[in-house]
Amino acid sequence: MENVSLIETFSDFKDLKNIDRATMMNVLEEVFRNMLVKQYGSDENFDIIINIDKGDLEIWRNREVVENGEIEDENFEIELEDAKKIDEEYEVGEEFADEVKLLEFGRRDILSIRQNLTSKILQLERENIYKAYSEKVGKIVTGEVYQIWKKEILILDDDGNELILPKKEQIPTDFFRKGDTVRAVVTHVEMKNNNPLIILSRISSLFLERLFEIEVPEIYDGLITIKKIVRVAGERAKVAVESYDDRIDPVGACVGMKGSRIHGIVRELRNENIDVINYSSNVKLFIQRALNPAKINSVKIIEEERKAEVFLDPEEVSKAIGKGGVNIKLAGKLTGYDIDVFRDIEDEVEDEDVDIMEFVDEVEEWVLETFKGIGCDTAKSVLVLSRKELINRTDLEDETVDYVLDILKSEFEQ
């Protein structure tokens, strides 16, 4: 009965998807050989025959027939009279093979074998899952939401492997229920407490890049190259693309007819705004394109500081900066330049306005630099904006903004 129970134990593992047949056979044989070494001191003279499909196991011990009373090692030798009890034809010097039954090891040893076998197989499966997903880092996987916790979501793939999507790696507007299908990119795989820990992300730029590869055949085929992606998940993303074939419009190919290709990506990213930009080695042109949808009048590059001063009409400033400064921030990351925007006031009479740094005696310099950072380099450029807009853009205290407004207003009242 114990023999049957043990055979069922390893037979149950024959259909595991993460372990190939040859590896499974090696593990099974190793477990039984360890048992033989423990019982007999050596496994050199044992043959193990395993039929994993049928669940059959045979263990044969090979010994040399010796004269009666001349045994030196019972594991390797058998007396002639004992051999003749099995077959009268045996003679001294011949090899004697007899089958070892598992029942001979006792109930406790068999239980130990079962536990060891189960442990090794499960460990091997974990290692193979780790190896398989290590090769999937940077690739998109699909799974089903199995459990939702406060800080993470447990997802099961098609083979029942556990994947983790942390809250911080979810798009802010993501909302999942148990049973929902989720797509995400594998970002990290490690062994933790002897178990594979597979981390997914939906906010990674890699996730967006892989979605473009799926939706745009020209990118997958290498006809269009994604030069760089920057994004604020759930809000806005900028994708710089380039084609080495002049006959292909990289932006048009990525967007598709009437937006057919990019719409699928936008839906997957919870309506995230995606700007697809034609990459250019011309820095000024690339910065102009990166600040889309704002229309730029001119760009001044300060190469040694990796800075760019962008001049544009007053009504275009808010477009360049974007809600919460997201547009200008992403444009800076995409181009690799620290971008400052300035109102182009060449048509205005200069003596009607005052450079904001003229107020350094009354306002701290870092505060004035903050206003310059949002394109407000003159007194009037500050005053044309509402108090609420100034607070949102500068991220300064309400009292600080009010104080600056009072100082600037008093200048023109005088």
Q: What percent of the chain has pLDDT over 70?
A: 91
CATH superfamily of 137-203: Nucleic acid-binding proteins (2.40.50.140)
Domain 209-279 has CATH 1.10.260.40: no
Is residue 183 over pLDDT 90? yes
So where are the chain's domains?
A: 2-132, 137-203, 209-279, 350-413
- For residue 20, name the pLDDT band (cuts at 50, 70, 90): low
| Alpha-carbon span 242 to 212, nearest angstrom | 13
Q: Which CATH number fits domain 350-413: 1.10.150, 1.10.3470, 3.30.390, 1.10.8?
A: 1.10.150
- For residue 1, name the pLDDT band (cuts at 50, 70, 90): very low
Among 40-49, 56-65, 215-224, the range of highest mean pLDDT: 215-224
Is residue 409 over pLDDT 90? no
| pLDDT averaged over every residue in the chain | 86
The one-letter amino acid code at 85 reads K
Is residue 23 over pLDDT 80? no
- Measured CA to CA in angstroms, residue 267 lies from 3, 47, 94, 178, 240 at distances of 57, 61, 78, 20, 20
| Alpha-carbon span 346 to 368, nearest angstrom | 22
Taking only the tens place, the pLDDT of each residue in 339-394 is 998 887 654 444 467 888 888 888 888 888 888 888 788 888 888 888 888 888 88
- For residue 52, name the pLDDT band (cuts at 50, 70, 90): low
Is residue 119 over pLDDT 70? yes
What does the block give as tokens for 89? 């034809």
pLDDT of residue 309: 92
The one-letter amino acid code at 93 reads G
- Tell how strand 224-232 and strand 236-243 pair up: antiparallel
Among 67-71, 268-272, 397-401, the range of highest mean pLDDT: 268-272
Mean pLDDT of the 62-75 span: 87
Mean pLDDT of the 222-244 span: 94
**What is the separation, in whole angstroms, between the first and last Cα of the chain?**
105
Lowest average pLDDT, out of 10-14, 212-216, 265-269, goes to 10-14
Asked whether the beta carbons of 377 and 346 are under 8 A apart, the reply is no
Is residue 277 over pLDDT 60? yes
pLDDT of residue 10: 53
Which class in CATH covers the domain with range 2-132?
alpha beta
What does the block give as tokens for 29? 């044989």
pTM, rounded to two decimals: 0.68
- Tell how strand 152-156 and strand 77-79 pair up: unpaired
- Measured CA to CA in angstroms, residue 285 lies from 101, 266, 282, 295 at distances of 82, 26, 5, 12
300: Cβ contacts below 8 Å, ≥ 6 apart: 308, 309, 310, 311
Q: Identify the bridge partners of residue 153 per DSSP, sorted by sequence position.
A: 148, 165
Domains 137-203 and 350-413 share a fold: no
pLDDT of residue 41: 86
